[in-house]
Amino acid sequence: MGSGAGGLTAAITVAEHGGRAIVVEKDSCLGGVTALSVGQIWLGANSLAAEAGIADSVDDAVAYLDFLAGDLGDRELRRRYIEDGSEAIDFLYQKIGIQLSVIRRHPDYWYPKGTGSKAEGRYLEVATYDREQLGPLAEKFRKVNPYGTDLINTADVVEADLDASKIEEAIRIHQKRDELCGGAALAASLVAAAAARGVQLRTDTRAVRIVTDGEGRVAGVEVEDPQGSAVIPTRAVLLATGGYDWNPGFVQTFEHKPSLPSMAPRTIEGDHLMMASEIGGWVDSGRPSSTPLNLGFQVPGAEYDGKPLYENMASLRPGAIIVNARGKRFADESFYPDVNGAYNNFDGGEQRMSNSPAWLVFDAKYLRNYGFQTYQTLRPGEALPGGVGNVGKDLPELAVAAGIDASGLVETVERFNAFCAQGVDEDFGRGTIPWSRMYMGDLRVQPNPLLGPLTEGPFYAIKLTPVGTSIVSAGLKVDAAGRVLNARGGTVPGLYAAGNAAARSDVVGYQSGIANMKGIQLGYVAGRDIMKA
């Protein structure tokens, strides 16, 4: 159930081991959330890094995952993530022929601060994919990716070395060749591999209910498509349906938010939780403050899947800050995990989230130099669309228009501008994290490429809200083979889960690329386990 990395990897594994598999996708397009992602795959101690001469070890990789987890989660499952994940990558790369490579010079988020962190070697991605190679299946891929993640690879961004013109040139080349990049290339590669092995790929088909036999074992799946409903007999089901971003009840229950605007497809509604819980599946909820709901905003007048289009502002370039209602900064704005954690801080004395609401504040120079960091929404030099945020000729006027404390905002900007002049952020250390410097820095800005002052009016403020990406706090609790557990610790016979449908019981913290890898790893071990049964 689901045609992202988890569902496709499981189907390929089953087919390669002599079984028959059907991939059922509720959406009209294949690829799921994977196809909209940046396409990064994070895995420590992988064989491709070893081939490239990059030193790493399973112990170091697990130590880094321990650091991310912060004493939560299952350490043994984290080790299995690395060990089984390595086997899964070797299977896709060496046996299936998926064109994977190491992204050189790409550090872990918390390098060198995090125990076991590395400067490079743990990020992988698939090579660009020629859309024509899909043949008739190309019609089952999205014609328009509203976020532009299919236009460029991470390796292109790293190679550009903060030169925006090189990134634009890479995009032009990929478009001219009609090449898919990022998550779209990963999804296309897996779709093609599945089709080549006889896997049935059914779109516009919703799974409604899992059918069990008299002993509680999976025996089939009831599905609905435009022709009606039917039961597909099967001895195993893998749930790889993503999160539950568009299910208000689940969002309120597990994320503790009244609603969640999301960049995920409208079909991501938590079907896995509904179907599995009906037959005894254990829903496990993690720590919402560790869930990467990046702050973002609604794009005026734009829609995707019949819903308002939201963009996230994961990290900021020099010349912009994020403040709370008091006009105060509360995190390193160039490193979104820091922003997310601080935004979710709950003040027990005030009984409220102390940094919510929050605003993105920037000046005319920032808009002229950078636009917004996505590849399609607002290019450098373009005017801010009407209806996005507030504007003021100076900071006090901006503060009044936005509802921010004026004296607090003026004081904060003055203090921040002084940090920019000296090149040291004494409050939050902005510019000290190699990952942020690589992605968001500007070598033209000195002495710190991530510290640019706000000096040129007019000034702008955009109110921010958490935006989902299908990576959520709750999921189905699984064992090392991807088998869904019940509340007594046993398994639901024949039921498996992978990717964002599986609980984050192992890798509790977040590192980009883990979601795609978790789909691949659990999809692989589940497919292998199914064929052993």
Predicted confidence (pLDDT) per residue in 136-165, tens digit: 999 998 877 888 899 999 999 999 887 778
Cα 405 to Cα 34, 284, 395, 398, 416, distances in angstroms:
41, 40, 10, 10, 16
- pLDDT at residue 269, as a whole number: 97
307 shares its domain with 439: yes
Tell how far CA 425 is from the center of its chain. Answer: 28
Would you say residue 288 lies in a domain?
no
Distance CA 201, CA 134 (A): 13
Would you say residue 449 lies in a domain?
yes
Would you say residue 218 lies in a domain?
no
Q: Of 450, 467, 484, which residue sits at a domain end?
A: 467
382 shares its domain with 511: no
Which segment of 35-44, 400-409, 451-460, 507-516 scores lowest on mean pLDDT? 507-516
137 shares its domain with 31: yes
Count Cβ atoms below 10 Å from residue 76 Cβ, excluding itself.
11
Buried b (16+ CB within 10 A) or exposed e, 147-174: bebbbbbbbbbbebebeeeebeebbeeb
492 shares its domain with 357: no
Q: Of 448, 467, 486, which residue sits at a domain end?
A: 467
- pLDDT at residue 306, as a whole number: 82
Total H helices, total E strands in the chain: 15, 23
73 shares its domain with 130: yes
Closest to 41 measured CA to CA, from 109, 126, 105: 126
- pLDDT at residue 387, as a whole number: 76
407 shares its domain with 319: yes
* pLDDT tens-digit series, residues 413-448: 999 999 999 999 999 999 999 999 988 888 889 999
Paired tokens of 446 = 């000195």
Whether the CB-CB separation of 364 and 383 falls below 8 Å is answered with no
463 shares its domain with 473: no
Amino acid identity of 389?
G
pLDDT at 232 over 60: yes
Would you say residue 61 lies in a domain?
yes
* pLDDT tens-digit series, residues 277-300: 999 999 999 888 788 888 998 887
Would you say residue 232 lies in a domain?
no
Contacts of 407 (CB under 8 A, 6+ apart): 327
* pLDDT tens-digit series, residues 329-367: 999 999 999 999 899 888 888 888 899 999 999 999 998
Contacts of 240 (CB under 8 A, 6+ apart): 1, 2, 4, 5, 6, 7, 10, 32, 272, 497, 498, 499, 501, 519, 523
462 shares its domain with 504: no
348 shares its domain with 493: no
Any idea which residue has 């890479």 for tokens?
A: 170
Residue 510: pLDDT band (50, 70, 90) is: confident
Residue 76: φ, ψ to 5°: -65, -40
Q: Of 467, 495, 523, which residue sits at a domain end?
A: 467
Omega before residue 146 within 30° of 0, cis: no
pLDDT at 374 over 70: no
Average pLDDT over residues 521-529: 98
- pLDDT at residue 347, as a whole number: 82
Q: What is the CATH number for 343?
A: 3.90.700.10
387 shares its domain with 300: yes
* pLDDT tens-digit series, residues 380-423: 777 777 778 899 999 999 999 999 999 999 999 999 999 999 99
Distance CA 519, CA 498 (A): 5
94 vs 510: which has the higher pLDDT: 94
Count Cβ atoms below 10 Å from residue 130 Cβ, excluding itself.
14
410 shares its domain with 362: yes
Paired tokens of 206 = 């919703």
Would you say residue 460 lies in a domain?
yes
Q: What is the CATH number for 93?
A: 3.50.50.60
Contacts of 60 (CB under 8 A, 6+ apart): 44, 45, 116, 118
Share of the chain above pLDDT 90, in %: 78
Would you say residue 369 lies in a domain?
yes
Q: Across all residues in the chain, what is the average pLDDT?
A: 93
Closest to 242 measured CA to CA, from 220, 275, 265, 211: 265
Distance CA 463, CA 300 (A): 13
Tell how far CA 501 is from the center of its chain. Answer: 13
Average pLDDT over residues 487-506: 94
Residue 375: pLDDT band (50, 70, 90) is: very low
Would you say residue 384 lies in a domain?
yes
304 shares its domain with 177: no
Paired tokens of 122 = 């743990």
DSSP class of residue 132 equals G
| Residue range of the domain that includes 347 | 294-467
Our count of domains for the chain comes to: 2
State the DSSP H helix or E strand holding residue 223, giving kind and residue range, or none if neither.
strand 218-225
Average pLDDT over residues 469-483: 96
The pTM of this model reads 0.95
